[in-house]
Structure formats: C-alpha cells, structure tokens
Amino acid sequence: MSEPLVLETSRLRLVPIAATDAEEWWRVVWSDLAVARYLPPQRTLSREAVEERVGAALDHWADHGFGIWLLREQPAGTLVGHCGLLSGDSDTLELVYALGYPVWGRGLATEAASAALAYGFDALRVAQVFADVFSANTRSSRVLATLGFEQEGQVHRFGAELDRFVLRRT
Ligand SMILES: CC(C)(COP(=O)(O)OP(=O)(O)OC[C@H]1O[C@@H](n2cnc3c(N)ncnc32)[C@H](O)[C@@H]1OP(=O)(O)O)[C@@H](O)C(=O)NCCC(=O)NCCS
C-alpha cells in the first residue's frame, strides 16, 4: 500500500481523513452551526451523517489519490478543521475547507489551502481550481482573495446561488 499523502506547513499537518476520524470531525466542524451554516446543507449534521461523509471522502481518496485532509495543528496534533481538493470536470479541482470556530482569525485556512493548491497545481498539474461560496460568507471570500482567486459569476448549487471563485495555474 502507498504512503498516505501528508502535507506539512509551518503550523499544520494535513493528513488524509481516516475512518476513525468521524467523531472528532463531527465535534470540530459539523456539530457547530457557526461553521456548518456555510457548508452544504447549511445546518449541523448528525454523527451518523458525518460517518457517511467520511465514507464518501474515503471513496474519493481511493478513486482519485487525493481528497479531504484533516488539519492537525502542531506540535499537539489538535484537529482544527479540514481542507480538500475534490475532483471536478477535466483539468479542474474544487477547493473546500473549514475551521473550528475557536481557531478562526489566525490564518490557518489560508495556510492549509496554500498547501493544497500547491499540490493541485504542481503535483497534479491541473489547469484551474474553483471554490463556491455562499454569498454571506465574507470570511471565506477574503481567504480566496488572499490566495489570488477571482470571482467569476455565480452558480446554482445546493439550492442556492453561490459565488464562484477561480484560480488558474500560472
Ligand atoms: C472560511 C473560514 C475557514 C475562514 O476562516 P478565517 O480564520 O477567517 O481564515 P484564515 O484562517 O485564513 O484566517 C484569516 C484571518 O486571520 C488573520 N491572520 C492572523 N494571523 C494570520 C497569519 N499568521 N497569516 C494569515 N492570516 C492571519 C487574517 O488577517 C485574516 O483575518 P481577516 O479576514 O479579519 O483579515 C472559516 O470562517 C470557516 O471555517 N467558516 C465556516 C466554513 C466555511 O465557510 N468554509 C468555506 C466554504 S467556501
């Protein structure tokens, strides 16, 4: 079996999600409305629903060799959120991320997303990465602008109009 695809930044380890992570992921991200309101389906999820999401994330890793990483702050290894690259149309990936509410405002999402983007552009050699954001989610739009994304219209997804941000390989 190949080694898990772990990425490192100055403060974080990005570790591929594992079946045993459901409880922690639920606690940090999906049980808190402050976080989950900006993620589809815009509400908190049950522990069982998160088990299903972990299953889908594992399938994505198996099918594509990349996917959702959990973000573990070093040195303690505390789970602070997730970041991921999801397979899109040919030559395109979707960037997703979320942080537990207590760690907002420290630059951890920008740091994790930079590492994921570097992997997408440099290792996977995709032409572009997009992210779709509920329009009230100004914190996320700021993160994407910092990373160099530009808004390119809106898309209808998850029963809402979302702002689409795109970053192309330079
Ligand atoms: C979107 C989300 C991850 C953004 O969190 P965040 O903490 O604002 O983003 P970052 O971790 O990159 O932190 C950036 C902020 O930290 C500040 N900051 C502090 N120290 C920093 C550092 N060392 N490096 C960079 N930024 C730093 C920045 O100035 C910025 O604050 P500002 O936006 O007020 O200017 C978070 O709000 C979240 O999880 N929301 C719910 C889920 C979600 O919306 N996901 C995205 C769906 S598209």
Give the tens place of pLDDT for each residue, 78-137.
999 999 999 988 899 999 999 999 999 999 999 999 999 999 999 999 999 999 999 999
- Predicted pLDDT of residue 139: 98
> Average of pLDDT values for 62-73?
97
For residues 30 and 45, is the Cβ–Cβ distance under 8 A?
yes
3-state helix, strand, coil in the chain (%, to 5): 35, 30, 30
Q: Looking at the whole model, is its pTM more than 0.85? A: yes
pLDDT averaged over the chain? 96
Of 38, 66, 67, whose CA–CA distance to 142 is shortest? 38
SS3 124: coil
> Average of pLDDT values for 11-28?
98
For residues 129 and 27, is the Cβ–Cβ distance under 8 A?
no
Q: Do strands 92-99 and 12-16 pair parallel, antiparallel, or not at all (unpaired)?
A: unpaired
Check whether 1 has a pLDDT greater than 60.
Answer: no
* Ligand 1 neighbourhood includes 137 CB (under 6 angstroms): yes
* Ligand 1 neighbourhood includes 108 CB (under 6 angstroms): yes
- Predicted pLDDT of residue 2: 72
Closest-lying ligand 1 atom to the alpha carbon of residue 98: 39
Query: Taking every pair of C-alpha atoms in the chain, what is the biggest distance, in angstroms?
Result: 43
Q: Ligand 1 centroid vs 109 CA: distance in angstroms?
A: 6
Please report the domains of the chain, with CATH numbers, ordered by start residue: 7-127 (3.40.630.30)
Check whether 170 has a pLDDT greater than 90.
Answer: no
- Predicted pLDDT of residue 70: 98
Q: CA 139 to CA 25: how far, in whole Å?
A: 21
- Which DSSP helix (H) or strand (E) runs through 116? helix 108-118
Q: How many helices (H) and strands (E) does the chain have?
A: 5, 8
- Predicted pLDDT of residue 83: 98
Place of tokens 């990373």: 147
Q: Ligand 1 centroid vs 73 CA: distance in angstroms?
A: 15
